[in-house]
Amino acid sequence: MNAGTAVGAELTLDGLTKNFRAVAAVSDVSLRLAPGSFTALLGPSGCGKSTLLALIAGLLAPDGGRVLLDSHSQRAVAAERRPVGLVFQKPLLFPHLSVEANVAFGLRMRRARRSEIRTRVHEMLERVQLTPLATRRVGQLSGGQEQRVALARALVLAPRLLLLDEPFSQLDATLRSQMRRLVRELTREAGVTTLFVTHDQAEALEVADDIALMLHGHLAGHAPAEVFYRRPPSLAAARFFEAINEIPGVVAAGCFRTPAGFQTPTAQPDGAGVLVIRPEAIQLVGRAGPDTVTGRACSARFAGTHLVVEVDVGSGHPLTAHLPVGSPVEVGGLLTVRLPSAACTVLASSR
Ligand code: ADP
Ligand code: MG
């Protein structure tokens, strides 16, 4: 086996279910990750992310459903025989061993040739910029260095699927950002399919191409990050991405309307609906039209690259708009804003 030849596996989850007594930790999750894709598994604490990862890795047995790698069921494959690399929040290294011995450990267990171990560990340490620390004991490393060892230890085995469970949540913001970039680079180079767990929507958007959202043990959407952000698949998904606007209304014959006369086309079936739109998509305009709403500006705050303006359009809670700095906004005055149909998503309202 050569480090360079591993290719990402296709991961398929088919109705995966796991209960802990009365707690339905993972409920009927079906998901397909394309070979070499990078997906953030996003969701609030306790929604079942770690349990799902443990099921994929084979650390837990499911109560129902299947895990397939390249269409092969992993039911009978023990955790240590799956081509899966794992990185956890706590690095779980051997504290008495050196950096290089920690990275070499898996290859030794696989009885790789000594020369091969040396070459691959060397290469890997170079990739994670730990060569100068190769002989240091891991007990003497900083948090970021420890996580780089954990990454190197997982990737040196050339896994076909890499699972990371909130790997950088204990690092400070700057370091976290650097580590995300490193993970992106390394996984792209290796071509490994990657599932990165996080509860932080900003981290998910920064690190991943695709987002799989989990809520209460269920999969609540799986789409490219940009689609998720701009066109959330459900109201629950929209609400998880904070600062999105909601305007209630009614859908009839392919058109969403509010009582105030705003309208936008939609493919939603007839009935109660909610329009969601990102603050940065809202535009200040001079005159009212069918795609505008008018209300009183209740606040305006300078936020560096834009103004954050709240407009009371009588829809329950004020609309938040990000407008260009210098826009003529007078707090207490009337404001007309356009909600471009391309930026509007109409969803079924949940009671
Ligand atoms: P997340 O990683 O998204 O924070 P977890 O997968 O750790 O969520 O947990 C999902 C749910 O399952 C939670 O309600 C949690 O308390 C429960 N849970 C997780 N592991 C166990 C366990 N070993 N025994 C009992 N309940 C568990
Ligand atoms: Mg967890």
Strands 84-87 and 161-165: parallel
Cβ proximity of 261 and 290 under 8 Å: yes
Q: How far is the CA of 151 from the centre of ligand 1 (A)?
A: 24
Sheet with 64-69, strands from edge to edge, namely 23-33, 11-20, 64-69, 72-73
The DSSP-derived string for 196-229 is EEES-HHHHHHH-SEEEEEETTEEEEEEEHHHHH
- Helix ranges restricted to H, 220-304: 225-230, 235-240
Atom of ligand 1 minimally distant from the CA of 44: 3
- Residue 315 token pair: 């829809």
Cβ proximity of 307 and 194 under 8 Å: no
Nearest CA to ligand 1 atom 1: 46
Please report which ligand is nearest the Cα atom of 49: 1
- Helix ranges restricted to H, the chain: 49-57, 99-109, 114-127, 143-155, 173-190, 201-207, 225-230, 235-240
Nearest CA to ligand 1 atom 27: 20
Cβ proximity of 217 and 43 under 8 Å: no
Rounded distance between C-alpha atoms, residue 291 and residue 141, angstroms: 57
Nearest CA to ligand 1 atom 5: 48
Nearest CA to ligand 1 atom 13: 46
The distance of Cα 222 from the centroid of its chain, to the nearest Å, equals 10
Strand partners, 224: 210
Please report which ligand is nearest the Cα atom of 88: 2
Cβ proximity of 153 and 171 under 8 Å: no
Q: What is the pLDDT of residue 317?
A: 84
Q: What is the pLDDT of residue 101?
A: 97
The model carries a pTM of: 0.88
Q: Per-residue pLDDT tens, the chain, 351 aa: give them.
A: 444 445 899 999 999 999 999 999 999 999 999 999 999 999 999 999 999 999 999 999 999 999 999 999 999 999 999 999 999 988 889 999 999 999 999 999 999 999 999 999 999 999 999 999 999 999 889 999 999 999 999 999 999 999 999 999 989 988 999 999 999 999 999 999 999 999 999 899 999 999 999 999 999 999 999 888 888 888 888 888 777 899 999 999 999 999 888 999 999 999 999 999 999 999 999 999 999 999 999 999 999 999 999 999 988 889 999 999 999 999 999 999 999 999 999 998 875
Q: What is the pLDDT of residue 6?
A: 54
Residues with Cβ within 8 Å of 259's Cβ and at least 6 positions away in sequence, in order, are 249
Ligand 1 binding pocket (C-beta < 6 A) is: 20, 23, 25, 43, 45-51
Q: How far is the CA of 103 from the centre of ligand 1 (A)?
A: 29
